[in-house]
Structure 1
Amino acid sequence: MSNDEKKIENVNVPTEEVKEATEVAREEVVPEIKEVEAKSEKAAKAEEVPSMDDFKDELDASLKKINRGDTVDCKVESVSDTEIVVSFGYSADGVIKREQLILEKDEQIADRYKVGDELTCLVEKRADKNGNVVLSHRKAKMTVAWSELEKKFEAKEKFTVKISEVVKGGLIAKLDGVRAFMPASMASNSFVEDLNEFVGKELLVEIKDFDRSARKVIISHKEVAKELADKAREEFFATVQAGDEFKGTVKKLMNFGAFVDLGATDGLLHVNEMSWRRLKHPSELVKAGDNIEVIILNVDKEKQKISLKLKNIEDNPWDTLDTKYVKGEVYEGEVVRLADFGAFVRLEEGVEGLVHISEISVKHIETPASALKVGEKVKVKVLSLDKENQKIGLSIKATMDNYEKPVKRNSPKKKKEEDVLKFTTNEEATTSMASILKDLDLKLED
């Protein structure tokens, strides 16, 4: 062993330090190695010869011919605020401007179209100033839509549309870019005061008139609405019965009552069934558009008619009539109506009695109006009470100071018989039974 070797052998190097140095060196070298490998791989790919499929795609794209009016299948590559860019296997990209897209008013392009979406478009121009093909998605959809609408018209098919706006004389529904017109008279099977209630709603319709060359499509909901209403009405009358409770909407007011929409049909709420007090007009209690709760009073299934009464009508004052009014007693009331045969006097809300013309005055009168007027306060005496039939007989003249109670008198015929057969004990009488018999004998002899 040489002296140099002995010196090396005697050097004591710590094992841990050696490991650390090795790791550091590896960390510095490995990234460089990976970078070199990546560059080599990239260079190798660059040097690769394109495959036959690649050549075929490029060749097809360069040789593909398009003409104005052609329909092409596209794929969305990018979306902006004003347009979308699509590819369709052509040497140039396609551009679709906002006005050639299918959008609602104020709708953003990005809300409707996404990258990767597949569209069918119509070629508008082979190249713009930038070399891009100008396309229209709206016109392509319209072309298809017109064909579909023609088929629906010929087949008399019913389909659903969404009403987009109100125009003069009717409504508009857009069908993939095609504007279909619905006249106001065809919007419903009943009168509609405000067509705006249909905007945004979906309606089942059928095409009544179609002319592709004139770009005219007339649609109607009226017949469909009638069919649906008839079916709903039949189902309603098959199950409804008196006493059923419903929530309805006051539809129309008449002098005699209110028509209430129950959904499947309308019912009549007569003015007398609205309150126990007398109403001059239904408008005193309800108005059109009010939501009310009603009870079925009567059902005519054959004529499909319904009569109603209010559910929350106040308590019937006639139920406690005998606790408030007594025959023979005098009360104060108000004249509310005059008729040829007498006057109606209100004793309280919901309770009215009749004063016959013969019970108005101790003097003879031609008409009730000659002695009374509506709104006048009068005293009346109860002559009769009929709680069951809700009738009260009243008298005004019976409360007057100069009123004399009529005396019950026998008829003249009956009085004559009594004069003959009755024995009198009056001292002033001069005729006896004997004289009567004598007179009879004399008459017989004659």
Structure 2
Amino acid sequence: ELKDFFEKNYKNLQKKLAIVAQTTYNIVVWGECLNVIPKDDPNIVIYDTICNATDARQSDAAELAKNSDIMLVVGGRHSSNTVKLFEVCSRYCKTYHIENSDELRSLKLPNATNIGITAGASTPAYIIKEVQTKMAENEILAANQNEEFDFAQAIDESFKKIHTGEKVKGIVIAVNNTEAIVDLGTKHTGYVALDDLTDDPSKKPSDIVSVGDEIDLVVIKVNDAEGTAALSKRKVDEQAGYEKIVEAQKEGTVLEGVVQSVVNKGITLTVMGVRVFIPASLTGLPRGAELDQLLKKKVEFIIIEVSEGGRKRAVGSIKAVQNAKKEEAKARFWETAEVGKTYSGKVKSLTSFGAFVDLGGIDGMVHISELSWKRIKHPSEVVNVGDTLEVYIKDLDREANRISLGFKKAEDNPWEIFKSQYQVGDVVKATIVSITSFGAFAQIVDGVDGLIHISQIADQKVENVKDVLSVGDVVDVKITDIDEESKRISISMRALLENSDEEAEEEEEAPAEDAE
């Protein structure tokens, strides 16, 4: 009929076509209908309205029929569920639809090795039990019964009642995008919704369980009329996880977890199925810092409080783990620390008087005077927060837990560089860096200045240095004195002018001597 519809009527439709099925419709026929519907047509919308319980029951019955010589479908003649089951099973083997055990007498059952029994969801349990009992008494069944399989016991177990709150075991028989379907070994088909599999919204049912898995569950709700049961794996995991969390709190165990959300005044994560809240003050971040920077990050923490009663919740602390690690690092540091030992550390903070460097759990300070051979006004002229420095221990105060660090290297000492390259009598170019009333200071090498006294600027009297020199001028000077003890250098412009005059006089006197 559906095929005929598409051939004759579909092309005349002016709107979209919606296709739905009766909730208890035969899933095999429904599958055949889907095959005749035009593919990839945006104007056709299909709603899979077959009930999950119906789908599972029909699928199970079909699998049973495929492996049976005879199927008995028990239920009312006018029961939609039972009729559909009969239609499904009839496709795979000889199938009989009976309402009760009395009808077995009128059936002429052929010899069969495997006989399957199924029933509609609304079929009373006692009727199914009667059919099972009659079949067990049947000589044909008795002759072919597998001695290792107690058929009566299996049927008895299938009618076992389950109750809300009861712990049960189930075998996963199907997994889809929203739930897992499990076999409980009873007449109930079990359903575990995604929310009852996990509280991780990023995961799908197939990420949690697979077909064939045997899992522990808690019964949430039972519907005997429909033959279904709502179950939860998450509640079982939460209880087991809660017990481990309580133990972790007692033992101070360090746990790991991924931060799932930022909430009011803290962050949350789930570990072993238990929700853990970590207050902002215990995240290890500075006061006022953005908590979003921890989102989706793996963190280490300990449990400091566990709630009692129905709500299984816990409070954790990242800061406590960080503090413990710092104390361990400090202990290791002081065991091996000695003056002169070098370390590689990161600059944590800057002050007007120096830089604090993390040596791996313990901080040391590089005084501003130790950051550069040159005179600087602030540490930021040399280093920035986050820089990695090679430092060495200058001094240790174990009682006060204070560590003084050095950063300047002897080979970089400008004075040593100057001494190795220059001596008294050398003529060099120098840059005027400052002017005073008594002279001018000129830089010879980076970090080393020499003084040109006012009397050494020119070969005549200079009243004001600024009349002759300006900051930034590059001048030729002669090194006239080096005071190594005081690290002072005297340089002269006048000495070069006097040398020039002497050379000029010698040139003038030379011809007269020749004439004589």
The answer to whether the superposition gives a TM-score over 0.5 is yes
Distance in 2 separating the partners of 1:337 and 1:47: 123
Distance in 2 separating the partners of 1:235 and 1:324: 47
Distance in 2 separating the partners of 1:57 and 1:358: 120
Larger radius of gyration: 1
Distance in 2 separating the partners of 1:215 and 1:179: 8
The equivalent residue for 1:157 is 252
Give the TM-score normalised by the residue count of structure 2.
0.55
1:235 aligns with 2:332: yes
Q: Given the alignment, which residue of 283, 286, 303 partners 2:383? A: 286
Distance in 1 separating the partners of 2:490 and 2:407: 29
1:200 aligns with 2:291: no
Give the TM-score normalised by the residue count of structure 1.
0.63
Q: Is the 8 A contact 1:126 1:134 kept in 2?
A: yes
Counterpart AA for 2:424: V
1:113 aligns with 2:209: yes
Segments of 5+ residues of structure 1 without an aligned counterpart are: 1-38, 402-446
TM-fit CA distance, 1:144? 3.5
Distance in 2 separating the partners of 1:55 and 1:294: 82
The equivalent residue for 2:323 is 226
Cα distance per residue 1:344-392 (max 9 Å; x no partner)? 76443222468999999x9999xx9x99x995769898786344x6721
Cα distance per residue 1:236-287 (max 9 Å; x no partner)? 2322344544433232233333323232323334444444344443333432
Across the two proteins, how many residue pairs are aligned to each other? 354
The equivalent residue for 1:326 is 424
Distance in 1 separating the partners of 2:262 and 2:238: 21
Structure 1 residues 347 and 84, CA, compared in 2 at 3 Å: closer, same or farther? same
Question: In structure 2, the residue corresponding to 1:133 is in which secondary structure?
Answer: strand
The equivalent residue for 2:166 is 70
Residues 81-96 of structure 1: pairs in structure 2 closer than 5 A? 81-96=177-192
Structure 1 residues 66 and 343, CA, compared in 2 at 3 Å: closer, same or farther? farther
Counterpart AA for 2:252: E
1:250 aligns with 2:354: no
* Percent pairwise identity: 29
Structure 1 residues 103 and 237, CA, compared in 2 at 3 Å: closer, same or farther? same
Distance in 1 separating the partners of 2:141 and 2:430: 115
Residues 34-433 of structure 1: pairs in structure 2 closer than 5 A? 42=113, 47-49=143-145, 53-62=150-159, 64-102=160-198, 104-127=200-223, 130-153=226-249, 155=250, 157-168=252-263, 169-188=265-284, 193=289, 195=291, 196-197=293-294, 199-208=296-305, 210-212=307-309, 216-290=313-387, 292-300=388-396, 302=398, 303-309=401-407, 315-322=412-419, 323-324=421-422, 326=424, 332-335=430-433, 346-352=443-449, 385-387=482-484, 391-392=487-488
Distance in 1 separating the partners of 2:340 and 2:297: 38
Distance in 1 separating the partners of 2:261 and 2:332: 33
For the aligned residue pairs, the C-alpha RMSD in angstroms reads 4.6
Structure 1 residues 212 and 358, CA, compared in 2 at 3 Å: closer, same or farther? farther
TM-fit CA distance, 1:206? 2.6
Counterpart AA for 1:159: V
Distance in 2 separating the partners of 1:65 and 1:330: 105
Distance in 2 separating the partners of 1:192 and 1:374: 51
The equivalent residue for 1:412 is none
TM-fit CA distance, 1:73? 2.4
Distance in 2 separating the partners of 1:354 and 1:166: 66
Counterpart AA for 1:235: R
Question: In structure 1, the residue corresponding to 2:223 is in which secondary structure?
Answer: coil
Distance in 2 separating the partners of 1:67 and 1:238: 63
Q: Is the 8 A contact 1:246 1:295 kept in 2?
A: yes
Q: Is the 8 A contact 1:146 1:212 kept in 2?
A: no
